[in-house]
Structure 1
């Protein structure tokens, strides 16, 4: 009988990345989600097809099997899945972790009662310290002293860095809404010392004892460049990331922003800069992939989160400032994000409302963490006005 894995989030990333690796490694993967359409399809088809998008779309596909689904709002079924699981992963978005924490706490309590031992829960989100954050949220819902002792001894929360572009995908004539398209490249690096009990063997999972460096490398390079492309592209009316990068002005800003963040990363973590430049070129080629039609609004969604002081735009800027390194193009990315006005994105509306009501300088202080009289605030305001004038022409 196959070991059980539970994955929260049956969306494209869950199915096309982490869930697929778990299935390939011999696990029966149960997906938990609130979308009944996806859960019903998982229980009906018990599998789906992944298409590799680095080449023509009719090219290589891969069948993922031995999967099922459970509704996240069905406490009985979800608790059973938590009790049965040998590993739990998530791809739900950072803001949802606190929501699933209560259910995980209830399941962990039942695991103790059932005599289960080690369990590792890995939050595969684009955030620093995601798993540990989830662990802290779960701990809030565990009150009994015996349950707390069990939780501390047997449940591990290894942080990780994840990297794979999984854009929206049309399943076409397959009739299976679960079919998903992905790029061939992926990276899943997990913090080895944080595991409790035996380390699981999962194809494609790399263990490290220096995760912070890899998390920041990915967040401050790929996610930084991706977001910068999306916001600049959106302002010029482009629909996708690859289309945006055909604009030489955008391409140069994005590339130079990643070089700036790279110089700071190499200074902080000791990465070899020549190797890091190759990493940047690989990322640029991934962004240019014409078969991955990655919508700029999808990449740019939730700008408030992306403007966080330690996130993909402000984080590398502050690191560059700390080491006295260039950061002009990183600032342009921040300004473009502040210009991102999408009425269908709740966080975009919040940012635009704050700018109108409180002023851009206040937002730089309140959201970005830049002092009002800092050089960085002045540069953001300057670039913002230049982008505003430029976008008025498009």
Structure 2
């Protein structure tokens, strides 16, 4: 049967099979969560956990999704009453409509409404997936980048806040003035100790305000900043994905998200004003997220970035294609087992070897068309937590983390040349893209490129570039990539 041309929405629900309908009645759900950064990942991860938690234990924990960059998500979801489907691809394909997103706003046009949302007593939780670069911090230090023009404008009060931290602090000011009670700010981004990072950035922002001291005191008493670790692979949705969703639903769904069967969420159980019963959806609530966080950031994300840069340079469009390359697959396995695993504090009873095997299996999933250049975005913001921490720890232990250093060298080759080995252009999508171009413009040799890029102290800090062994390992790897390509550099 050909799909109907009707858009998904409340009116479509009665025509859907029970297995495809939301787990809760979205029309009866009040908003209790503001989510900043309502992209595909949030809709395939936290929003799904939240709907399952509400179905199991109740509560007005509907989500108001806030988009920072464009009206695109609003144009997808508003005509659909906030509904969208989650298309899960593994050995089998399944699809269900999600109903936890109950409102949407575009902050560039509705800054006052966001402030009112953050100040409302009914809003008890703010979650964030704004990517590493959305925090406007120096990755090496974790401090607020006050030289950023948008941060400076927000501190000066020049119009509605443009940055996430500025939006949060102005919202907390309004909440304090309204005496609206405590609230939790929960980062779900790939940053070590992301709750503490967010707390530090909010504190830095307050410290630069004329009345910041009293506001900071109120925040310390009324706002909690738990850390969390999230894991689910969510590639960008394609036209083919939308066509498949329409066929399965019988309705057009412009907001469909595609993901894998695996999902994980580990959350520090420290909330100032309640939370959904996420444990009923399979989330792990714990007093200490750090061991899980380090495993995920270093094993999954570090490997993902390494294979993305190597894969893109070798001309592989998708992760599964890159993993079909024996050299790249071998580097990933050795990176996990030899460089990363010795740096981890593994929780009792956790089978880290099985986790590595599971990751490799997930990377091989051909049903997920996860583009290497998508993972390659924002490298300057990702390297510190994904690879540089591993490198620093192994060097301190007297080891030579050559596979992690190859990952760094592959990033350098990617941003230095911006071309694959066959000459095809590669997009350098990074908040420091212009500086990367300037630094490498006159680099005629791998050594010159390494020297130039290691001068980015906000990325590499001061200690690693001063370590001769690190510099030699990265330079050797970049020379191998330059002279013999990925095939030569991945010979083990």
- TM exceeds 0.5? yes
1:351 aligns with 2:436: yes
In 2, Cα distance between equivalents of 1:127 and 1:251: 25
Q: Decide whether the 8 Å contact of 1:263 with 1:325 is kept in 2.
A: no
Q: Decide whether the 8 Å contact of 2:53 with 2:276 is kept in 1.
A: no
Q: Decide whether the 8 Å contact of 1:239 with 1:296 is kept in 2.
A: yes
Deviation for aligned residue 1:113: 3.2
Q: Which moved more, 1:349-358 or 1:92-101?
A: 349-358
Q: How does 1:265-304 map to 2 (within 5 A)?
A: 265-266=343-344, 269-270=345-346, 275-304=351-380
Give the one of 470, 476, 484 matched to 1:382: 476
SS of the equivalent of 1:127 reads coil
Deviation for aligned residue 1:197: 4.8
Q: How does 1:307-386 map to 2 (within 5 A)?
A: 307-308=383-384, 311-340=385-414, 341=418, 342-346=426-430, 347=432, 350-357=435-442, 359=448, 360-364=450-454, 366=456, 367-368=459-460, 369-372=463-466, 374-386=468-480
In 2, Cα distance between equivalents of 1:319 and 1:49: 42
In structure 1, list runs of 5 or more residues that go unmatched. none
Deviation for aligned residue 1:337: 1.3
Deviation string for 1:173-230 (max 9, x for gaps)?
45322110111111111223x4335454223432222222221111110001111111
1:43 aligns with 2:78: yes
Give the one of 381, 388, 393 matched to 1:305: 381
Q: Decide whether the 8 Å contact of 1:260 with 1:325 is kept in 2.
A: no
Deviation string for 1:43-69 (max 9, x for gaps)?
32121100101135xx21121114220
- 392 and 30 in structure 1: CA distance in 2 versus 1, 3 angstrom threshold: closer
- Structure number with greater CO (CA < 8 Å, separation at least 6) is 2
In 1, Cα distance between equivalents of 2:232 and 2:169: 29
Equivalence for 1:120: 184
In 2, Cα distance between equivalents of 1:280 and 1:339: 27
In structure 2, list runs of 5 or more residues that go unmatched. 1-28, 55-60, 137-162, 419-425
TM-score norm. by structure 2 comes to: 0.73
Give the one of 89, 95, 101 matched to 2:133: 95
- 336 and 372 in structure 1: CA distance in 2 versus 1, 3 angstrom threshold: same
TM-score norm. by structure 1 comes to: 0.90
In 1, Cα distance between equivalents of 2:452 and 2:342: 27
Deviation for aligned residue 1:356: 4.1
Q: Decide whether the 8 Å contact of 1:260 with 1:326 is kept in 2.
A: no
* CA-based RMSD: 2.5
Q: Decide whether the 8 Å contact of 1:39 with 1:69 is kept in 2.
A: yes
SS of the equivalent of 1:307 reads helix
Q: Decide whether the 8 Å contact of 1:362 with 1:372 is kept in 2.
A: no
In 2, Cα distance between equivalents of 1:217 and 1:393: 28
Q: Decide whether the 8 Å contact of 1:260 with 1:320 is kept in 2.
A: no
Deviation for aligned residue 1:3: 5.0
Return the index of the structure with the highest Cα Rg.
2
Alignment length (residue pairs): 387
